[in-house]
A and B are shown apart, each in its own frame.
Chain A
Amino acid sequence: MTLKIAVCVKYVPDATGDRGFADDLTTDREAVDGLLSELDEYAVEQALRISEESDDAEVTVVTVGPDDAKDALRKALSMGADKAVHVNDEDIHGSDVIATSAILAKALEKTGFDLVVCGMASTDGTMGVLPALLAERLNVPQVTLLSEVSVDGGTVKGRRDGDSATELLEAPLPAVVSVTDQSGEARYPSFKGIMAAKKKPVEELDLDDLDIDADEVGLAGSWTLVDAVAARPARTQGTIVTDEGDGGKQLAAFLATQKFI
């Protein structure tokens, strides 16, 4: 039996660019180049490793996003994923995380999966809740925030390094997992991988294909409302001194004026 692994990835604005908002208070996707969310590279990596450990496995990378989001899929395919699914529909624009999870869940059901692998959070919204929402919608266990993951027969096992304890977790498949940036360095695509990715299948789906009404998603179907967006006032640089043997004393004096000591 083929182990079907689905990896959910997101195309995000480059965090090193000048990110901002469009007139409708959604993320401005024009202003800054996009790329595969760095934290999703760890998910692709773990999916590939699980696939390599398995006798028979297939890795499908899935995204919801505009035309450009194909770049994120191509990156994952060039790393070694077998095929991709791209949900793209203009009515999706402005979907919040709950609406997005509805679309992804339908796409995953259509694609089929034994294991869904996600990054711990996107690097733009940084909410980190999508894996949990998918588990809820797909009615399968969630095994999240893992720094180590493996599949053993019909069971997924993982290690979570929390603030107060390290936990060993397990759940029967099918399941949703998310992995942290401690799970293992993501591989770089080889030239061969990049060439091969161009020939790999990318299935295009729209809301009709997934049997989702337009008013269930997008700005209309999102249950949170952004009322105002304001650039945070830039911090103004304070005093800078060069240490000439008494830098620590000067710093102590400053901290004393601020009543920290």
Chain B
Amino acid sequence: MAEILVLVDHADGAVRKPALELLTLARRIGEPSAVVLGAGEAAASIAATAGEYGAATVYVADGAEFTDQLVVPKVDALTQLAKEKGAAAVLVTSSGEGKEIAARVALRLGSGLITDAVELEAGENGPVATQSVFAASYQVRSTVSHGVPVITVKPNSAAPEAAPAAGSVENVAVAFTGNAAKVVSRTPRVSTGRPELTESAIVVSGGRGVGAAEGFAVVEKLADSLGAAVGASRAAVDAGWYPHANQVGQTGKQVSPQLYVAAGISGAIQHRAGMQTSKTIVAVNKDAEAPIFDLVDYGVVGDLFEVLPQLTDEIGAR
């Protein structure tokens, strides 16, 4: 069966959920192999998890290069493996770095590249990827017509399904090409303990209507009662009320959760581009004319400082 290489994104010694989604999708188009790079001592447990989610083989490479240099060492490793193993496709998570890695691998392999797939299935001419474009107003189905398909897939595009496989580990020596930018220092972001924005099943976002940085407290309380991630509109981020890492929209994160709660967000095209593919959309806004209400499954015209705390209390009482 055709071997599909899956680059396993990991953080703090654990597999990140989008990698499990990729392994699940990879099974639709062939036999998944996982590629674990620069995980250090955590490689063994990461490999075991990859095996539980369907990886027949787990290629492991370690080295300071993967953490001390930008992008290129991972490109070196993935390209080398794709060539040596005669991979039928390469799948990478659609993060900023993931897309850059995929692009350079595609170029080196002489392959077509598809980014930001939201669906992946087998087709007569190789994997068929669905993309959601122009602020999610169109769905585009594409195939790669030349070379080994290299495809990046957005988080939350599939539910991870366990499927125990051999997960046999093969250590790989990578020939590094160099010419990469150096990481001079790395300061980990202090964890809020909340789920990762792009991976979370529920997102609660605040916008201009929140009024001030302190106003986000009600948004955070609701998020915590739902086990949700916190997002913010560009207006709220530009005002300095919430960190840019939490921005949902065309120039921020694009999210596709099961439930999206927009509080005090009018729903400009820029924001809609980042959340329009959410399964269920709920909005709370004082302005009954706000365009966000055109998208919602349920909308409350009202003051978010009254509606959100009441909702939070109700959730707590259930």
Task: Using CB atoms and an 8 Å cutoff, list the residues of chain A in contact with chain B.
Answer: 15-16, 19-21, 38-39, 96-98, 101, 120, 123-129, 131-133, 135-137, 139-145, 147, 157, 161-171, 175, 180-182, 222-232, 235, 237-243, 246-252, 254-256, 258, 260-261
Contacts and interface: CB of A to CB of B under 8 A. Distances in A.
Contacts of A19: 134-135, 137
5 contacts: A39-B251, A129-B99, A142-B71, A164-B188, A227-B141
A240 B284 CA distance: 10
Given A224-B142, A226-B140, A240-B301, 15 more contacts: A39-B251, A129-B115, A164-B11, A167-B185, A167-B187, A223-B144, A224-B112, A224-B143, A232-B132, A232-B138, A235-B281, A240-B293, A247-B284, A247-B307, A251-B300
Contacts of A147: 244
Interface string B68-97: 001110010000000000000000000111
A169 B143 CA distance: 35
Interface of B: 11-12, 70-72, 75, 95-97, 99-104, 106-108, 110-116, 125, 128, 132-147, 179-189, 196-197, 202, 226, 244-245, 250-251, 258-259, 269-270, 273, 276, 280-282, 284, 288, 293-303, 306-315, 318
Contacts of A141: 70, 72, 179-181
A147 B245 CA distance: 12
Contacts of B314: 248-249, 252, 261
Given A143-B181, A224-B143, A250-B300, A15 B107 contact: no
A166 B186 contact: yes
Contact of B318 (A125, A163, A241, A256): A256
A124 B196 CA distance: 26
Given A175-B181, A232-B139, A15 B250 contact: yes
Contact of B186 (A124, A142, A165, A227): A165
Contact of A168 (B134, B143, B183, B202): B183
Given A139-B179, A225-B144, A248-B307, A167 B112 contact: no
A97 B311 contact: no
Contacts of B318: 252, 256, 261
Contact of B299 (A128, A144, A162, A241): A241
A171 B180 CA distance: 7
A241 B311 CA distance: 14
Q: Is the interface of B mostly helix, strand, loop or mixed?
A: mixed
Contacts of A97: 103, 113
Given A132-B103, A165-B187, A239 B250 contact: no
A166 B186 CA distance: 6
Nearest to B312: A248
A43 to B, nearest CB: 13
B188 A261 contact: no
Contact of B315 (A145, A222, A261): A261
A243 B107 contact: no
Nearest to B101: A132
A136 B114 contact: no
B113 A224 contact: yes
A226 B112 CA distance: 12
Contact of A252 (B132, B186, B202, B311): B311
Contacts of A246: 310
A232 B164 CA distance: 36
A222 B197 CA distance: 34
Contact of B183 (A169, A226, A241): A169
Q: Which 7 A-B pairs have the closest CB atoms?
A: A248-B310, A243-B302, A223-B112, A223-B146, A252-B314, A129-B103, A132-B100
A39 B234 CA distance: 14
A228 B70 CA distance: 36
Contact of B245 (A120, A163, A229): A163
B310 A249 contact: yes
A252 B100 contact: no
B140 A229 contact: yes
Nearest to A258: B280
Contact of A128 (B99, B112, B308): B99
A132 to B, nearest CB: 4
A142 B100 contact: yes
Given A21-B138, A171-B182, A242 B288 contact: yes
Nearest to B191: A164
Contact of A222 (B112, B280, B313): B112
Contacts of A167: 183-187
Nearest to B286: A243
Contacts of A242: 288, 300-302
B144 to A, nearest CB: 6
Contacts of B303: 243
Contact of A255 (B140, B197, B259, B310): B259
Given A126-B250, A133-B104, A98 B141 contact: no
A137 to B, nearest CB: 7
A220 B250 CA distance: 30
B258 A260 contact: yes
Contacts of B307: 243, 247-248, 251
B189 A166 contact: yes
Given A133-B104, A224-B142, A235-B294, A163 B300 contact: no
